[in-house]
Amino acid sequence: MSPWPQSPKYQNFIVSFPDERILQITLNRPQKLNSIDKATSREIQAVWEAFDQDESLWVGIITGNGRAFCTGADLQEWNRMNQTREVNSMDAPGLAGLPRRSGKKPIIAAVNGICMGGGFEMIANCDLVLASASATFALPEVKRGIVPVAGCLPRLTRTIGLQRTMDLVLTGRNVNAKTLHDWGLVSQVVDAGADVASAAVKIAQQMCQNSPDSLIVGREGVRLSWESGSVEEAVSTLADQWYPRLMGGVNFAEGIQAFVEKRPPNWVNSKL
Per DSSP, the three-state class of 115 is strand
8 Å CB contact between 153 and 162: no
Nearest to 122 by CA among 91, 96, 161: 96
**Other Cβ atoms within 10 Å of 240 Cβ, number:** 9
Catalytic residue (choose from 20, 49, 77, 141): 141
| d(C-alpha 190, C-alpha 256), whole Å | 35
**Other Cβ atoms within 10 Å of 51 Cβ, number:** 20
Question: Which residues 6+ apart lie within 8 Å of 139 measured at CB?
Answer: 116, 117, 120, 148, 152, 168, 169, 172
Catalytic residue (choose from 20, 77, 121, 220): 121
| d(C-alpha 5, C-alpha 40), whole Å | 22
| d(C-alpha 107, C-alpha 118), whole Å | 17
49 is catalytic: no
The count of C-alpha atoms lying within 13 angstroms of the C-alpha of 165, restricted to the half-sphere facing its C-beta, is 19
Q: Please give the order of strands across the beta sheet that includes 68-70.
A: 68-70, 114-116, 136-138, 175-176
141 is catalytic: yes
8 Å CB contact between 156 and 115: no
Helical packing angle, 152-160 and 162-171, nearest 10°: 130
Q: Which residues are catalytic?
A: 121, 141
